[in-house]
Amino acid sequence: MAVQENMPSKGEASGAVERPPLHVAIVMDGNGRWAKRRGLPRTLGHRAGVEALKRIVEAAPDLGIRWLTVFGFSTENWSRPAAEVAELMALPKRYFETDLARLEREGVRVRVIGSRTGLSRDLVKICSEAEARTAGNDRFHLNVAFNYGGKADILDAARKFAEAVAAGRARPDDLTEALFDSQLATAASPPPDLIVRPSGEQRLSNFMLWQAAYAEFVFQDVLWPDYSAQHLAAAIAEFQTRDRRYGAVVPDDALAAG
Ligand code: FPP
């Protein structure tokens, strides 16, 4: 597994942030409540959520982050009222229309992860264009999880491997964690070091279930549209206090046990 490889070496990160989480994943939650508190329709909460996303994508590289995965639309969000689903479907366009040129220029590689099934032809085109125009970039990686579900991601990977076995291209024993990783929607990224969820809710909601195996979690009491670089910096500061052992023990404790 790439987990240990994902640990930053001293001085690897940019700027003054020491031992930053290289991959941060965010459940962008609280748009609806933000709007409700202001007596606004939920749609305006989602639009304010796009503005928060812009701020965070700009701030993340300076905080030492190299991969950012954001949860934009889950496989369960289809069950929302049709008008809200329509608004959510319009968000990638709203984001890329204003920001794609800058992302391209600033070395950001965009990937839209999740199923394209059920998305309009226009939306698929917008997502593919964002990916194609930034395909040569490597300074920072932005994964937009859209029509994404952790269970569906795992099922798809399992199905691909089962098909390879059925076709005689693989044997059941060939399946390793690394091979399974390579079949997931996030194959191009290391696993997340830190998963952040604002809005006060404390759950994963079917986000990156396999990938979260050794992630640290930070839950913050702020609604996503109000999320700022300072909130992200605070989440990182909290991450830096965590002792990541990956199921092992620290050497001193090992000696004590012996
Ligand atoms: C959850 O909040 C948020 C969403 C379902 C949408 C997230 C999308 C954005 C933040 C905009 C950026 C998106 C892209 C793809 C560019 P909620 O509506 O469940 O809020 P609530 O829990 O307060 O009701």
Q: Please, what is the average pLDDT of the chain?
A: 92
Question: Residue 180 is which amino acid?
Answer: F
Please report, for residues 8, 62, 145, the alpha-carbon distance to residue 140 in angstroms, rounded to integers and kept in the order given: 15, 11, 16
Tell me, in angstroms, the distance from the centre of ligand 1 to residue 28's CA. Answer: 6
- Within 134-240, where are the H helices? 150-166, 177-183, 229-240
Q: Using a 6 Å cutoff on CB, does residue 72 contact ligand 1?
A: yes
Tens-digit pLDDT profile for residues 69-79: 999 999 999 99
- CA 180 – CA 7 distance, rounded (Å): 21
Q: Give residue limits of the domains in the chain.
A: 20-148+192-242
Q: Specify the pTM.
A: 0.91
Q: Using a 6 Å cutoff on CB, does residue 100 contact ligand 1?
A: no
Q: What is the CATH superfamily name and number for domain 20-148+192-242?
A: Decaprenyl diphosphate synthase-like (3.40.1180.10)
Tens-digit pLDDT profile for residues 19-70: 899 999 999 999 999 999 999 999 999 999 999 999 999 999 999 999 999 9
Which residue among the candidates 77, 99, 181, 193 is catalytic per the annotation?
A: 77
Q: Using a 6 Å cutoff on CB, does residue 99 contact ligand 1?
A: no
Of 113, 191, 123, which is closest to residue 146 (Cα–Cα)?
A: 113
Ligand 1, atom 7: closest residue by C-alpha: 72
